[in-house]
Amino acid sequence: MSLNFIDLFSGIGGFHQALKKYDKKSKCVLACDIDKNCQEVYFDNYNIKPESNITELDETTIPDFDILCAGFPCQSFSNAGNKGKFNDGRGKLFYEIIRIAKHKKPKFMFLENVKHIKKIDNGNVFSKILSEINKIGYYVKDEETIFELSPYQLGIPQNRERVIFVCIRNDIYDSTKKIELSLPTNPKINFTKIFEKKKDTLKYKISDEVENVLTAWNEIIQVIDTGDKLSPTILCNEFKKKYTKTEFSKLPKWKQDYITKNKPIYEKYKSKWDTWSKKYENLLSKREIYCKLEWQVGPKKDNDSIWNYFIQLRQSGLRIKKTDYFPTLVALGQIPIYGKQKRYITPRECARLQSFPNSFKIHNSDKVAYKQFGNAVNVDVIHTVIKATLDVYLN
């Protein structure tokens, strides 16, 4: 049977890709996203122009459909957002899903959000979501029809933990049918399928300034003894500051903690730090984040180098990450730097990390494309859950 679906908060169509991958005959009868750039990319790839405002959708005129898909806005629930919960306008958009589903009664709903949604307000937000879904006639239950999944569990080199809600209409739900995800055992993480050819990455080289800053930090890294820890975040601009007890007590708690825990690494290499800080004073002072190093790769190793890792320029500082997986793609412009080639990863590499096919037409603005892939659902993650559900209930 062919399946009709609607794609709410559609973005660039991660759910669309996942359902077409499951069944090429499946048909999207409505898409909706307020972002004009996403509308353009959606049309370019699927020949469907998304509606622009979900609050203006008339549920009585939407064509019938079997499946409702929605990666509903996560900014109100994520660690990176302000955690406004349902008090935030974006959080309230969840109720638009409820409004449409209550009237149209699709067989299934597949919803996606950040893993952190389960912990907000001591779990009250998560409980409220489940309660609202239950009220309109759907079965959804944690650890039974709700799954936590990250691309790396499928062999895709990105750590991106998400929660996928499988909501089954009560008259269809069968307690004897168990949904089990088919996951590879000890999946081999494959980087080669992600990277573009070098000739296609030349324009993504980091700026001279960023390279100089990272080279400067790499210089001081060489001074640190093997086995020493560079944590928590090093605040090199605080090393020589003098605070009275009163002044120190007025600093944010996190900053007090970092300054206190930075003291041993500063005292051990005091003369080296002082010489280094003076040498690069003008460079490091250009941006506050240049003075902060988040070394998230464990104790210093023999022949260690900043260029061995992935790097992100974040508000919290220069974040150095292990190369087991790519850092989680985000929509905030913190594009990962591939240290070994001293360049940002490309939009096409982002597409591959989100399991979009090479045939997918990417927005012609790199800035827009990065944001779109940072917001997107991972196609293979969603497909895995959809396949496990529909194989049980429709076959």
Q: Give residue limits of the domains in the chain.
A: 4-185+377-394, 198-345
| Residue position matching structure tokens 């010489």 | 275
Catalytic annotation, pick one of 28, 32, 74, 167: 74
Query: What integer pLDDT is reported at residue 192 of this predicted model?
Result: 87
Residue 306 has pLDDT above 50, yes or no: yes
Q: What is the pLDDT of residues 336-360, one digit of tens each?
A: 999 999 999 999 999 999 999 999 9
Q: In the annotation, is 38 catalytic?
A: no
Residue 77 has pLDDT above 80, yes or no: no
Query: What integer pLDDT is reported at residue 395 of this predicted model?
Result: 83
CA diameter of the chain: 73
Q: What is the pLDDT of residues 111-133, one digit of tens each?
A: 999 999 999 989 999 999 999 99
pTM for this predicted structure: 0.91
Q: What is d(CA 379, CA 60) in angstroms, rounded to the nearest whole number?
A: 30
Do 69 and 97 form a contact (C-beta atoms < 8 A)? no
pLDDT band at 109 (very low <50, low <70, confident <90, very high): very high
Residue 99 has pLDDT above 90, yes or no: yes
Q: What is d(CA 367, CA 16) in angstroms, rounded to the nearest whole number?
A: 23
pLDDT band at 87 (very low <50, low <70, confident <90, very high): low
Number of neighbouring beta carbons within 10 Å of residue 225: 9
Write 119-128 long-range contacts (CB < 8 A, 24+): 120/77, 120/83, 120/85, 121/85, 125/77, 125/85, 125/86, 128/86
Q: What kind of architecture, by CATH, is found in domain 4-185+377-394?
A: 3-Layer(aba) Sandwich (3.40)
pLDDT band at 83 (very low <50, low <70, confident <90, very high): very low
